[in-house]
Amino acid sequence: MNPINKLIVAVIPLFPKNVVRIFASRYIAGDNINDAVKKVKELNSKSIIATMDVLGESIKDKEEAVQSKNESIEVLEYIDKFNLNSNLSIKLTMLGLNIDFDLCLDLTAEIVEKAREYNNFVRIDMEDSSVTEKTIQIYETLRKKYNNVGIVLQSYLKRTVNDVIRLTKEKANFRICKGIYIEPKEIAYKKKQEIRDNFMKALEIMFKRGAYVGIATHDKYLIDASKKLATDLNIPDDRYEFQMLLGVKENLRDKLVAEGYKVRVYVPFGIRWYQYSMRRFKENPNIAGQILKSLITFRR
């Protein structure tokens, strides 16, 4: 990142929330479930499937964890009621992972059980490295009982290839992505090409060991390499899908759909949009620059 962009990213947290919100709206479906339903219907009408996510991260007490569980179940109910082509993504710190492991396991199991009743699927997002092992353990425990649950692995983590081998001892369902959190160099690759190489290495093992894979990237290099790998290994269409974030690289997304690939878009919504949006801005300082410009205009 060039020094000007670095500076812009550093100062965005100082901007008024209402300004940040204007630009955040490209990445989030809205404040409530009805906004998200509308967005998913729009995507479905373009032959794009979705995964819905109630925004939020680490919570402080059991009551909040139970509330998060209820919100996730509500999403499953809406998906069923409106016949949407969508599954659900969840973050375990919202379900109490940092407070009480067993509570988190129980609440997550409740969500996965409900999804099973609706013939739906739950993807466990991966958060920062302080919770990687615990997240994997919850997935492993649930996977013994449920086949409608999947996990995310991050190719910037040096441990990921071992995790793929560990988890593909059973039938597994992955999302592979680069990873968005800032991690120490002792445990994470930092160079762009190293992260890409590890992505492809992990994907190849996933494919060869029979897993279903959501290939989550907007990086054309990785999309092209994944397509080629799937062809070279004769991986059938029903063993993988591409995944992208709402509001990112829509031309690339539409091209994949036109070529006949299965494409799923991550549709986050809810009132706790700030942290999610800040991570997206850090990935794309051009947007940060636009915020800065608009702020100057606002103040005039």
- Positions touching ligand FAD (CB under 6 A) are 125-126, 152, 154, 175, 177-181, 216-219, 243-245, 248-249, 266, 280, 283-284
Catalytic residue among 123, 125, 163, 196: 125
Q: Is the dihedral of CA 194, 200, 204, 205 positive or negative?
A: positive
Whether 175 is catalytic: yes
Minimum Å gap between C-beta 102 and ligand FAD is 23
Q: Which residues contact 144 (CB under 8 A, 6 or more apart)?
A: 170
Contact between 246 and 29 (Cβ < 8 Å) = yes
Catalytic option among 143, 175, 264, 280: 175
Kindly tell me which of 24 and 81 has the beta carbon lying closer to ligand FAD: 24
Count Cα atoms within 13 angstroms, Cβ side, for 276.
26
Q: Residue 158 or 299: which CB sits closer to ligand FAD?
A: 158
Look up residue 192 and give its two tokens.
Answer: 């762009």
The minimum distance between CB 219 and ligand FAD, in angstroms, equals 4
What's the closest the beta carbon of residue 279 comes to ligand FAD, in angstroms? 8
The nearest distance, CB 211 to ligand FAD, in angstroms, is 16
CB-nearer residue toward ligand FAD: 61 or 93: 93
* Cβ-based nearer residue to ligand FAD, 143 or 218: 218
CA distance 240 to 258: 16
CB atoms within 10 A of CB 263: 24
Q: How far apart are CA 238 and CA 231, in angstroms?
A: 13
User: CB atoms < 10 A from the CB of 95, how many?
Assistant: 27
- Distance (Å, whole) CA 211 – CA 14: 43
Catalytic residues: 125, 175
